[in-house]
Amino acid sequence: MDLPTIKYKNKCSVPGCNDKVSKRHRFPKQEGLLQQWLHAIQSPKLANYNAAYIRRSCFVCSQHFSQEYLLYGTRKGITEDAVPSLNLPVAPDVASIVPQVEDHVTENPSQVCSFINEPSTSRSLQVIPIPENLKIANLDCPLPLQQSLENIPSSHPQQIKSLPLCIKKRRSILEQINVTRTKFLSPRCKKLYSMQIREIVKTAKMQSKINDFKTRLRNAEVMINSPTHLKFFETVNKTTEMFILQQVRTQKQPPHGRRFSLDEKIFALTLLKAGPKVFRLLSKIFSMPSRKTLLNVLNKLPLRPGINKQLFRSLECVVASMEENQKIAALVFDEMAISPSVTYNSSLKCVDGLEHCEQRSPRIATYANVFMLKGLYRQWKQPLAFTFSSGPIKSVLLKTMIKKIIEECQVIGVEVIATICDQGAANRAAINSLLRDTAEYLQTQGIENRYHGFLIKKQEVVPLYDVPHLFKGIRNNLMKYNARFTQNDVIKVAKWEHIEKFYLLDTMDPTRLCVKLTDAHIYAKHMNKMKVSLMTQVFSWNVGSLMKRISQWSTSRSVCASFHHFY
């Protein structure tokens, strides 16, 4: 039983070819190869069309290509250097045509023999009458006969080939089983054929990548071994060298075609963190990764609530190259209120936005807590952990986090000698609990407690409170209570009403001395107690010096006599 065949609507452009079932092939885009096709076909009809029309509307069937040019099972069907060479209109042989022409001219000078190409490969002669005054015997024509005969195509494919064969012959899988289309295969065979085609495509892509890497490797070797490269890059560091090579490699590429290494992305991410405006300016001048690309790199980092072991391993590599005094640091921690929000993390298949301290809980998080190391002798800082809590963090959990983080820091070689935080209720409770634990431990060991802080693995850590918060606490307490202090063995009292009277004296005159003081600095109902600038401007050197001067005047001595010593 014969398999059904497909009939093509597009006619073959070779003169005399009536084939309707062979695969059609478009004319090539290369101008030189296109001229070879036209020269081989010798179609008078195609001589009237331009190259664009020929490429778009004209075809040549597979009957005119030799087997070495055919690629079965592919979309294109032929190699890149294929030229039609079979079943073409054939010109007569030069050696046999010239004697016949000369004999015929001697017998009848008014007629000449003309060679006609027929659809079949047969040859025929047609006698065409010409004027008697034209001398055929002397061959008075624009081109010599030998030169014109050189343009006649040969019928042998070995004489047509002019380009080297750069693509190996491929035998079609379907051809081996005498099948022309996959629709004639069984479902099982179709599946196996699809798997084989996928493997072939994958192998071709891999081979293309290998060739690309080989080319890049050769170019890199040439550049690295050049004397100019060696002389220039001996004077710059590795980061500068990487940045310059990045610009040389990617400047000529389109923005969406640029590829960057991981080190280049990390360097760009450092610039983005230092200043978004600076990064935008540099992106207009240099070839830099986009902000979205850098955020995708950042999102790949395994940052989850709790103590991040990966950060400690990275920090350990950096600490190993530090000097001993540069390893001394302070642990800074704080909390802030966040807007309740719940999102689904598709990559980790979990819900983000819930409470997560030591373990996850179903309560929605409203506070975030961050722990960070800050170098004391050398200015460096590194966030280490963060947690989410429903409401302010509990002092018990905070105490546990402080101990674990300090112990991890001691393992990697960082010496934590202090903790810094604000005067929140949970912070004070956790610090006091650590101090009590240290006192109880020393008491059980029979050791006198001469430490100013608490012990973590026999290493003292001094708790400190944030200085701006300390000043705000002094201001808030002074608004409720009087401050008693001793100076030169004299007990003195500072009151907030002294500040209020000084403010009234200053505002009575249009030409004020302390123009920055407002009602928001003095009166509680107008005051933002969390704003540090309102506190620092009240306790400034300008206000203190003016109150000292006013205290020396007899009319206002009772107002500022004691308070100016408080400064």
pTM of the model: 0.51
What residue spans define the domains of the chain? Answer: 24-88+161-183, 94-152, 185-220, 245-298, 304-465, 468-566
Report pLDDT for 561.
Answer: 53
Report pLDDT for 4.
Answer: 52
Hey, what are 201's tokens?
């495509």
Residue 328, classed as helix, strand or coil, is strand
Which of 20, 12, 28 is closest to 86 using CA atoms? 12
**What is the C-alpha to C-alpha distance for residues 21 and 338, in angstroms, rounded to an integer?**
72
Report pLDDT for 528.
Answer: 83
Residue type (1 letter), 551:
S
Report pLDDT for 436.
Answer: 93
Hey, what are 297's tokens?
């790199």
Report pLDDT for 102.
Answer: 43
Show pLDDT as tens, one digit a residue, over the chain (567 residues). Answer: 444 566 778 889 999 898 888 889 999 988 999 999 998 988 888 888 888 889 888 999 999 999 888 887 777 889 988 999 998 886 544 344 344 444 444 444 444 333 334 443 433 334 344 444 444 334 343 333 334 334 444 444 443 344 343 333 345 677 777 777 788 888 888 888 889 889 989 999 999 999 999 998 888 888 778 887 777 777 888 888 889 889 988 988 888 889 999 999 999 998 998 888 989 999 999 999 999 999 888 888 778 888 888 888 889 999 998 999 999 999 999 999 999 888 888 877 888 888 888 788 888 889 999 999 999 998 888 889 999 998 889 999 999 999 999 999 999 999 999 999 988 889 999 999 999 999 999 999 888 888 889 999 889 999 998 888 888 888 888 888 888 888 888 888 888 888 888 888 888 888 888 888 888 888 888 888 878 888 888 888 888 888 888 777 755 445 555 555 555
**What is the C-alpha to C-alpha distance for residues 101 and 94, in angstroms, rounded to an integer?**
11
**What is the C-alpha to C-alpha distance for residues 245 and 239, in angstroms, rounded to an integer?**
10
DSSP state of 296: H
Element (H, E) at 125: strand 123-129
**What is the C-alpha to C-alpha distance for residues 317 and 312, in angstroms, rounded to an integer?**
9
Distance set, CA 339 to CA 359, 364, 424 (Å): 21, 10, 20
Q: Which residues pair with 485 in a beta bridge?
A: 492
- Tens digits of residue pLDDT in 325-341: 999 999 999 999 999 88
Residues 6+ apart with CB under 8 A from 406: 331, 416, 456, 461
In the Cβ-directed half-sphere of 406, how many Cα atoms lie within 13 Å? 26
Distance set, CA 353 to CA 161, 192, 409, 432 (Å): 71, 48, 28, 30
Q: Which residues pair with 345 in a beta bridge?
A: 350
Report pLDDT for 501.
Answer: 87
In the Cβ-directed half-sphere of 148, how many Cα atoms lie within 13 Å? 9
Tokens 């023999």 map to which residue? 113
